Amino acid sequence: QKEVEQDPGPLSVPEGAIVSLNCTYSNSAFQYFMWYRQYSRKGPELLMYTYSSGNKEDGRFTAQVDKSSKYISLFIRDSQPSDSATYLCAPTSNFNKFYFGSGTKLNVKP
Amino acid sequence: DARVTQTPRHKVTEMGQEVTMRCQPILGHNTVFWYRQTMMQGLELLAYFRNRAPLDDSGMPKDRFSAEMPDATLATLKIQPSEPRDSAVYFCASGYSQPQHFGDGTRLSIL
Protein backbone atom coordinates (compact mmCIF):
# COMPACT_ATOMS: atom_id res chain seq x y z
CA GLN A 1 0.00 0.00 0.00
CA LYS A 2 1.30 3.46 -0.90
CA GLU A 3 1.88 5.96 1.89
CA VAL A 4 -0.35 8.50 0.14
CA GLU A 5 -3.23 7.85 -2.24
CA GLN A 6 -4.61 10.49 -4.56
CA ASP A 7 -7.13 10.20 -7.38
CA PRO A 8 -5.26 11.11 -10.60
CA GLY A 9 -8.34 12.54 -12.30
CA PRO A 10 -8.54 14.32 -14.64
CA LEU A 11 -11.13 16.52 -12.99
CA SER A 12 -12.93 18.90 -15.32
CA VAL A 13 -15.10 21.71 -13.95
CA PRO A 14 -16.64 24.93 -15.29
CA GLU A 15 -15.18 28.27 -14.31
CA GLY A 16 -16.56 29.48 -10.98
CA ALA A 17 -17.14 25.99 -9.57
CA ILE A 18 -15.98 24.86 -6.15
CA VAL A 19 -13.30 22.20 -6.49
CA SER A 20 -12.51 19.54 -3.93
CA LEU A 21 -9.22 17.66 -4.15
CA ASN A 22 -8.45 14.86 -1.74
CA CYS A 23 -5.79 12.52 -0.46
CA THR A 24 -5.70 9.70 2.05
CA TYR A 25 -2.61 8.57 3.90
CA SER A 26 -1.61 5.68 6.10
CA ASN A 27 1.17 6.97 8.38
CA SER A 28 -0.18 8.43 11.63
CA ALA A 29 3.20 10.10 12.26
CA PHE A 30 2.54 12.72 9.57
CA GLN A 31 2.18 16.14 11.19
CA TYR A 32 2.57 18.62 8.31
CA PHE A 33 0.47 18.53 5.19
CA MET A 34 1.53 20.34 2.05
CA TRP A 35 -0.30 21.09 -1.16
CA TYR A 36 1.69 21.80 -4.29
CA ARG A 37 0.47 23.02 -7.66
CA GLN A 38 2.32 22.00 -10.79
CA TYR A 39 1.83 23.61 -14.16
CA SER A 40 2.90 21.80 -17.30
CA ARG A 41 6.68 21.78 -17.75
CA LYS A 42 7.28 23.51 -14.43
CA GLY A 43 8.34 22.38 -10.98
CA PRO A 44 5.80 21.89 -8.17
CA GLU A 45 5.02 25.17 -6.44
CA LEU A 46 4.04 25.26 -2.78
CA LEU A 47 0.43 26.45 -2.38
CA MET A 48 -0.03 26.11 1.34
CA TYR A 49 0.57 23.84 4.26
CA THR A 50 -1.08 23.01 7.53
CA TYR A 51 0.06 21.57 10.81
CA SER A 52 -1.96 18.78 12.42
CA SER A 53 -5.74 18.68 12.09
CA GLY A 54 -7.90 21.65 11.17
CA ASN A 55 -8.49 24.16 8.43
CA LYS A 56 -6.34 26.85 6.87
CA GLU A 57 -7.57 29.43 4.41
CA ASP A 58 -5.58 31.47 1.93
CA GLY A 59 -7.64 33.50 -0.48
CA ARG A 60 -9.71 31.14 -2.60
CA PHE A 61 -7.90 28.09 -1.24
CA THR A 62 -8.76 26.14 1.92
CA ALA A 63 -6.74 23.20 3.18
CA GLN A 64 -8.38 20.77 5.56
CA VAL A 65 -6.85 17.90 7.51
CA ASP A 66 -8.68 15.22 9.46
CA LYS A 67 -6.04 13.17 11.22
CA SER A 68 -8.58 10.81 12.76
CA SER A 69 -9.58 9.57 9.31
CA LYS A 70 -6.20 10.31 7.69
CA TYR A 71 -7.88 12.47 5.07
CA ILE A 72 -6.50 15.64 3.45
CA SER A 73 -8.53 18.05 1.32
CA LEU A 74 -7.93 21.16 -0.73
CA PHE A 75 -10.90 23.30 -1.70
CA ILE A 76 -10.76 25.93 -4.42
CA ARG A 77 -13.56 28.49 -4.47
CA ASP A 78 -14.55 30.40 -7.60
CA SER A 79 -12.19 28.31 -9.73
CA GLN A 80 -10.45 30.04 -12.62
CA PRO A 81 -8.92 28.70 -15.85
CA SER A 82 -5.54 29.70 -14.39
CA ASP A 83 -6.12 27.07 -11.67
CA SER A 84 -5.80 24.36 -14.33
CA ALA A 85 -2.81 22.35 -13.18
CA THR A 86 -1.88 19.17 -11.34
CA TYR A 87 -2.27 19.33 -7.56
CA LEU A 88 -0.10 17.17 -5.32
CA CYS A 89 -0.52 16.53 -1.63
CA ALA A 90 2.63 15.84 0.38
CA PRO A 91 2.50 14.98 4.05
CA THR A 92 5.58 14.71 6.23
CA SER A 93 6.37 14.03 9.85
CA ASN A 94 9.27 16.46 10.24
CA PHE A 95 10.27 18.02 6.89
CA ASN A 96 12.95 15.37 6.46
CA LYS A 97 11.11 13.27 3.93
CA PHE A 98 7.99 14.18 2.00
CA TYR A 99 5.56 11.62 0.66
CA PHE A 100 3.94 12.85 -2.52
CA GLY A 101 0.61 11.73 -3.88
CA SER A 102 0.43 10.93 -7.57
CA GLY A 103 -1.31 14.25 -8.26
CA THR A 104 -4.79 15.19 -9.49
CA LYS A 105 -5.01 16.92 -12.84
CA LEU A 106 -7.55 19.74 -12.78
CA ASN A 107 -9.01 21.44 -15.84
CA VAL A 108 -11.15 24.54 -15.32
CA LYS A 109 -13.11 25.34 -18.46
CA PRO A 110 -13.87 28.97 -19.33
CA ASP B 1 12.18 35.94 -5.04
CA ALA B 2 14.66 33.18 -4.15
CA ARG B 3 14.56 30.17 -6.47
CA VAL B 4 16.15 26.79 -6.90
CA THR B 5 18.11 26.80 -10.16
CA GLN B 6 18.64 23.66 -12.21
CA THR B 7 20.82 23.16 -15.26
CA PRO B 8 20.52 22.07 -17.96
CA ARG B 9 16.78 22.46 -18.49
CA HIS B 10 16.81 19.90 -21.29
CA LYS B 11 19.22 17.12 -22.14
CA VAL B 12 19.08 14.62 -24.98
CA THR B 13 21.82 12.05 -25.22
CA GLU B 14 22.49 8.53 -26.35
CA MET B 15 22.36 5.44 -24.21
CA GLY B 16 25.62 4.76 -22.42
CA GLN B 17 26.63 8.41 -22.10
CA GLU B 18 27.30 10.10 -18.78
CA VAL B 19 24.73 12.68 -17.70
CA THR B 20 25.33 15.33 -15.05
CA MET B 21 22.55 17.49 -13.68
CA ARG B 22 23.23 20.48 -11.44
CA CYS B 23 21.24 22.26 -8.81
CA GLN B 24 21.80 25.52 -6.96
CA PRO B 25 19.65 25.44 -3.81
CA ILE B 26 18.15 28.54 -2.23
CA LEU B 27 20.74 30.35 -0.13
CA GLY B 28 20.43 29.32 3.51
CA HIS B 29 18.57 26.10 2.83
CA ASN B 30 20.40 23.18 4.43
CA THR B 31 18.41 20.29 2.95
CA VAL B 32 18.53 19.34 -0.73
CA PHE B 33 16.33 16.73 -2.38
CA TRP B 34 16.55 15.00 -5.77
CA TYR B 35 13.33 13.65 -7.33
CA ARG B 36 12.46 11.94 -10.58
CA GLN B 37 9.04 12.39 -12.16
CA THR B 38 7.47 10.14 -14.80
CA MET B 39 3.90 9.69 -15.93
CA MET B 40 3.82 6.14 -14.63
CA GLN B 41 5.52 6.56 -11.24
CA GLY B 42 4.80 10.18 -10.39
CA LEU B 43 7.30 12.00 -8.17
CA GLU B 44 9.88 9.64 -6.67
CA LEU B 45 12.46 10.66 -4.09
CA LEU B 46 15.94 9.61 -5.19
CA ALA B 47 18.12 11.09 -2.45
CA TYR B 48 18.43 13.93 -0.01
CA PHE B 49 21.19 15.76 1.82
CA ARG B 50 21.34 17.78 4.99
CA ASN B 51 24.24 20.14 5.56
CA ARG B 52 25.83 18.52 2.48
CA ALA B 53 25.81 15.03 4.04
CA PRO B 54 23.74 12.32 2.33
CA LEU B 55 20.89 11.24 4.61
CA ASP B 56 18.97 8.89 2.40
CA ASP B 57 19.73 7.64 -1.10
CA SER B 58 17.64 4.48 -0.95
CA GLY B 59 15.52 5.60 -3.91
CA MET B 60 18.49 5.74 -6.23
CA PRO B 61 19.79 2.88 -8.42
CA LYS B 62 23.24 2.62 -6.84
CA ASP B 63 25.00 0.99 -9.75
CA ARG B 64 24.55 3.93 -12.12
CA PHE B 65 23.39 6.95 -10.14
CA SER B 66 25.42 9.12 -7.80
CA ALA B 67 24.57 12.32 -5.95
CA GLU B 68 26.96 14.76 -4.31
CA MET B 69 27.14 18.21 -2.79
CA PRO B 70 30.62 19.58 -3.46
CA ASP B 71 29.66 22.75 -1.60
CA ALA B 72 26.60 24.40 -0.09
CA THR B 73 25.69 26.12 -3.35
CA LEU B 74 25.89 23.11 -5.67
CA ALA B 75 24.30 19.67 -5.76
CA THR B 76 24.92 17.23 -8.60
CA LEU B 77 23.19 14.10 -9.83
CA LYS B 78 25.11 11.87 -12.22
CA ILE B 79 24.01 8.90 -14.28
CA GLN B 80 26.69 6.69 -15.77
CA PRO B 81 25.99 4.83 -17.98
CA SER B 82 22.60 6.23 -18.92
CA GLU B 83 19.76 3.99 -20.17
CA PRO B 84 16.51 4.77 -22.02
CA ARG B 85 14.52 3.97 -18.84
CA ASP B 86 16.24 6.93 -17.15
CA SER B 87 14.26 9.30 -19.38
CA ALA B 88 12.26 11.50 -17.02
CA VAL B 89 12.14 14.94 -15.49
CA TYR B 90 14.57 15.32 -12.60
CA PHE B 91 13.76 17.87 -9.94
CA CYS B 92 15.88 19.37 -7.24
CA ALA B 93 14.26 20.93 -4.18
CA SER B 94 15.65 22.67 -1.12
CA GLY B 95 14.32 23.51 2.33
CA TYR B 96 15.22 24.43 5.90
CA SER B 97 12.83 22.98 8.49
CA GLN B 98 9.99 24.04 6.22
CA PRO B 99 8.24 22.88 3.04
CA GLN B 100 10.67 22.44 0.22
CA HIS B 101 10.84 24.61 -2.86
CA PHE B 102 11.41 23.08 -6.27
CA GLY B 103 13.38 24.03 -9.32
CA ASP B 104 11.87 23.71 -12.79
CA GLY B 105 13.63 20.45 -13.48
CA THR B 106 15.91 18.88 -16.06
CA ARG B 107 14.01 17.09 -18.80
CA LEU B 108 16.19 14.12 -19.74
CA SER B 109 15.77 11.98 -22.83
CA ILE B 110 18.02 8.97 -23.37
CA LEU B 111 17.86 7.64 -26.92
For chain B, what are the domain ranges? 5-110
Domains and CATH numbers, chain A: 4-109 (2.60.40.10)
**Interatomic CA distance for residues B103 and B24, integer angstroms:** 9
Residues 6+ apart with CB under 8 A from B57: B46, B47, B48, B67
| pLDDT surpasses 90 at A33 | yes
pLDDT for B99 equals: 85
Read off the DSSP letter of residue A82: G
- Average pLDDT over all residues of chain A: 94
Torsion sign over Cα B37, A51, B51, B5: positive
Reference A104, options A29, A33, A17, A4; nearest CA is A4
Alpha-carbon span B51 to B56, nearest angstrom: 13
Strands (E), A1-110: 4-6, 11-14, 19-25, 32-38, 45-51, 54-58, 61-66, 71-76, 85-92, 104-109
Residues in B touching A32 (Cβ below 8 Å)? 99
Question: Across residues A27-43, what is the average pLDDT?
Answer: 95
* A49 touches B: beta carbon within 8 Å: yes
What pLDDT is stored for residue A36 in this prediction? 96
Give the tens place of pLDDT for each residue, B47-98.
Answer: 999 999 999 888 898 899 999 999 999 999 999 999 999 999 999 999 987 8
8 Å CB contact between A16 and A78: yes
Q: Mean pLDDT throughout B19-34?
A: 95
CATH architecture of B5-110: Sandwich (2.60)
- Contacts (Cβ under 8 Å, ≥6 apart) of A93: A27, A29, A30, A31, A32
What pLDDT sits at residue B14?
Answer: 97
CA–CA gap between residue A79 and residue B53 (Å, rounded): 43
Residue B40 clears pLDDT 90, i.e. is over it: no
Q: Which of B45, B91, B97 sits opposite A97 (nearest CB)?
A: B45
Average pLDDT value for chain B: 94
Contact state of A100 with B4 under an 8 Å Cβ cutoff: no
Alpha helices in chain B (DSSP H): none
Sheet holding A45-51, edge to edge: A11-14, A104-109, A85-92, A32-38, A45-51
In order of A50, A76, B71, the CA distances from A58 in angstroms are: 11, 10, 36
**A30-34, B30-34, B59-63: which range is least confident on average?**
B59-63
Contacts of residue A83, Cβ cutoff 8 Å, sequence gap at least 6: A19, A76, A106, A108
- Rounded to a whole number of angstroms, the distance from the CA of A100 to the nearest CA of chain B is 7
Q: What are phi and psi of A81, to 5 degrees?
A: -55, -30
Chain B nearest C-alpha distance from A102 (Å): 5
